[in-house]
A and B are shown apart, each in its own frame.
Chain A
Amino acid sequence: MLTKKVKNRILFLIFVFSLSVVAVIFIVKSLNKNVLYFLSPTEINQREDIQFDKAMRVGGMVKKGSIIINKKNIQFIVTDFENEILINYSGTVPNLFEEEKGVVAEGKLRDKNFFIADRILAKHDENYMPPEIKEIIKKNAK
């Protein structure tokens, strides 16, 4: 027979093990729920498995002359020089938000050409371009 001490230890180990299993499942589940996919306008245009109720990030360049501002919100077009998407945003924009500069918007798709952003991401470096956008531009330059 197992002594009391050994029994206790086994129980303790089982307890710790199941606890860590639960913890890992919990972490992975909430991870899957809360990741934001980064897509370019072209990808949005081409992909068929896009979820409209899930938040995502869209990146590209702000099209020249496309920024319209009124009392409530800001509208602009993001382009990857192949496809475009119209973005509607109400809120403050970061200081490097400008025409013909890179931008990343976070929010939800209304349809394939219209995006409601609830955050525009900032980068505090004038030479900066998000790596995702750099790649898009490189791809399109070929």
Chain B
Amino acid sequence: MLSNIGICLIILVLILSFLIIYTASIDLKISREAIKKNIYKLSLFQITFTILSFFTLIIGFINSDFSLINVYENSHTTKPFFYKIAGTWGNHEGSLLLWINILVLFSYLFLVFSHTHDKKFRLYTLIFQNILILGFLFFLLFNSNPFNSIYPIPLEGLGLNPILQDPALAIHPPLLYVGFVGCSIYFSAAMASLLSGYGGKSFAQSIKTWVKISWCFQTLGIIVGSIWAYYELGWGGFWFWDPVENASLLPWFAITALMHSLIVLEKRNTLYYWVIILCLSTFTLSVTGTFLVRSGILNSVHTFASDPSRGVYILIFLSLMIFSALTIFFLKHKKETYNFNLKSRETFILANNWFMAFFLITVLIGMLYPIFLDVLTNEKISVGPPFFNIVIIPLVVPFLALMAIGPKFGWIKSQKKIFNKILLLTLGAIVINLLIVYFFGKYSLLSNFIFIAAIFLILYSFLDIKKLINNKNKTELPRVISHLGFGLLVFFIGINHQFSLEEDFNLKVGEIKKINNYKINFEEIKIKESKNYKAIIGNFKLTNVEGNLVQYLNPEIRIYSNPETLTYEAAIKTKITSDLYLTMSNVSRSDYYNIKFQKKPFMIWIWISALMITLGGFIRLTLKKNED
């Protein structure tokens, strides 16, 4: 039943896409100011049917309708209600449907909200967006249909991987998708802009909001993903330079560069072609990343839905996308003259773009190198975190400094004297860094530089905030918050990295282990039955040297029944200054339990500062036109 409804809705959306492309291309030839009413109507129908199809799938999951293969494979009647819904996008087919929903949603919203712009430009955007929609619809129908039915209908589903049954991971995909797929609209707009000749300032204004929206969601999505990794995966880390994480980082670098250079285009009406390149590459990178991971070409410790057959289709689609984008770009490309003064804001924004490009290329090389080597020499390798750390971290130092200084310069040519201020703040940063070294312990030369640069940025941002409060000026507020957030993020990650305590050992029940100033007493284990899992809960008493109780920690080993899986739930006690982190595992049912104990300073502050970066973006979205 649901299967038929779903497929009908998808086919309706498909037909509507064709109709929109057809009517839009007819409307292109008519020289009238406004876009035909029909197109609005068709778009409205399109978005309605798309959302309906998604709800159909959600209903399938809620009712555990196992006549749908997708529901059968990824759900179970005993699963909590919330995760039944989240299960909808917790698998490849469902997430592709979500992907299409966002494509259509952005297509519709752009059509409605761009009415102040050129008609031809809007129509072309609509056409390109619908070509993208068609591409993904065909993919969905022929390769990954979430509405495929199964007969005879199974009585029970296979269940959702328990590790995905987590609130952070339930909201992580939708956030990331709004971020990644949101890029599609300015991919289309960039193509439209090239074809219709509607460039420059007005183009920047037309895509500004969409860039901001997708940037905010992408950033937030990445943060939520790493919070999940921190407390669910049990190694205590939050960033692993894993292919999946890298795939999400690539478009982020491109979009961050775009967000900055877009300001130059809007204010100074230059860098148009560079902005176009960034628009095109952001979405291309989103698709590349997602499907390198999905197709299983890149393998990672946390991909959940991979299947090689998808690779071919996506490869063809992607090459068509890139090829047509490049063709149009080179056909329409004209020479642009740049006239930048070294001491101007646009130069510093360009510097940001260089850094972003460097980071992007580094991550891309690190990600693709194993694939090339495998194809060429059949050697299996992986590129580990040290590579990324060595290449990227040294460049963070000048990057942080420029983040503080850059925004101080005005447009075109700045006469401002800020040399003394910089000197003073650098000194301040060095002193603070020395204090940290003096009180908490030494670290490497490079780390010293990073701390100094981060503190410099933080101090400078505080000065900016003070100034903003005095002037009651809101325009600069988002920038200051995001930059301050980034400075704090680097600072706290540095502190966390330098002063973390980590210890692995094996203990039997009743034994005591001494670590630095702590004593860990493994008091007992309890067994608890829950709705869809059985938990073995360890009780650890943590005392300090004097024997005073610090904390009880209760990590769990959960044995889920559908599908049968073990997961380890870390015991995490978050405090303002540090997190205590303890995981327990058991190997081959021996008496020994495998324990990992960590004390991680300022963990919560890493999340707070990362969220500040996003907050800046969201604040900028709320600013009125004249304030931005």
What residues make up the interface of A, taking CB atoms closer than 8 Å to B?
23, 26-27, 30-31, 33-39, 55, 57, 67, 69-74, 90-99, 106, 121-126, 130-132
Contact = CB atoms under 8 A, between A and B. Distances in A.
23 contacts: A27-B362, A27-B365, A30-B386, A31-B369, A34-B384, A34-B386, A34-B390, A35-B381, A37-B379, A37-B381, A55-B384, A57-B382, A70-B506, A71-B505, A72-B506, A92-B504, A94-B234, A95-B567, A95-B585, A122-B301, A124-B163, A125-B161, A126-B564
A131 B583 CA distance: 28
B391 A26 contact: yes
Contact of B384 (A26, A36, A92): A36
A24 B319 CA distance: 26
Given A23-B358, A130-B299, 19 more contacts: A33-B387, A34-B384, A35-B370, A36-B381, A38-B381, A67-B587, A71-B505, A74-B587, A91-B594, A92-B585, A95-B567, A95-B568, A95-B585, A98-B588, A106-B384, A122-B301, A126-B161, A126-B565, A131-B299
A72 B506 CA distance: 6
A67 B387 contact: no
Instruction: Output the residue of B386, B565, B594, B596 with the most chain A CB within 10 A.
Output: B594
Nearest to A90: B504
Contacts of B234: 92, 94-95
A122 B365 contact: no
Contact of A96 (B304, B379, B566): B566
Nearest to A23: B358
Contacts of B381: 35-38
Interface string B28-43: 0000000000000000
B596 A70 contact: no
B134 interface: no
B387 A30 contact: yes
A46 B605 CA distance: 50
B425 interface: no
Contacts of B366: 31
Interface in B363-397: 365-366, 369-370, 379-384, 386-387, 390-391
B566 A36 contact: no
A124 B563 CA distance: 12
A71 B513 CA distance: 10
A91 B390 contact: no
Nearest to A16: B354
Contacts of B507: 71
B563 A126 contact: yes
Nearest to B164: A124
B565 A36 contact: no
B590 interface: yes
A32 B183 CA distance: 34
Contacts of B585: 92-95
Nearest to B297: A131
Task: State the main secondary structure of chain B at its contact with A.
Answer: mixed
Instruction: Output the residue of A74, A96, A125 with the most chain B CB within 10 A.
Output: A125
A40 to B, nearest CB: 9
B594 A92 contact: yes
A124 B380 CA distance: 21
B596 A91 contact: yes
Task: State the main secondary structure of chain A at its contact with B.
Answer: loop
B296 interface: yes
B383 A31 contact: yes
Contact of B382 (A36, A94, A98, A122): A36
A93 B593 CA distance: 10
Interface string B133-151: 0000000000000000000
A71 B567 CA distance: 23
A69 B358 contact: no
Contacts of A94: 234, 585
A67 B299 contact: no
Contacts of A97: 587
B2 interface: no
Nearest to B595: A92
A121 B302 CA distance: 11
Contact of B301 (A57, A72, A124): A124
Instruction: Output the residue of A39, A99, A131 with the most chain B CB within 10 A.
Output: A131
Contact of B592 (A38, A70, A95, A121): A70
A34 B506 CA distance: 30
A131 B382 CA distance: 13
Contacts of B369: 31, 35
A68 to B, nearest CB: 9
B386 A69 contact: no
Nearest to B302: A124
A125 B506 CA distance: 25
Contacts of A93: 585, 587, 594
B568 A31 contact: no
B233 interface: yes
Given A92-B583, A95-B585, A124-B161, A71 B382 contact: no
Given A36-B382, A38-B380, A122-B233, A71 B587 contact: no
A39 B382 CA distance: 11
Nearest to A67: B588
Interface string B223-237: 000000000011100
Contacts of A92: 234-235, 504, 583, 585, 594-596
A31 B592 contact: no
A11 to B, nearest CB: 12
A74 to B, nearest CB: 6
Interface string B498-512: 000000111100000
Contacts of B163: 124
A35 B563 contact: no
Contacts of A26: 391
Nearest to B504: A91
Nearest to A98: B588
Contacts of B301: 121-124
* Among all A-B residue pairs, the 7 with the closest Cβ atoms: A38-B380, A34-B387, A91-B504, A92-B596, A95-B566, A124-B163, A34-B386
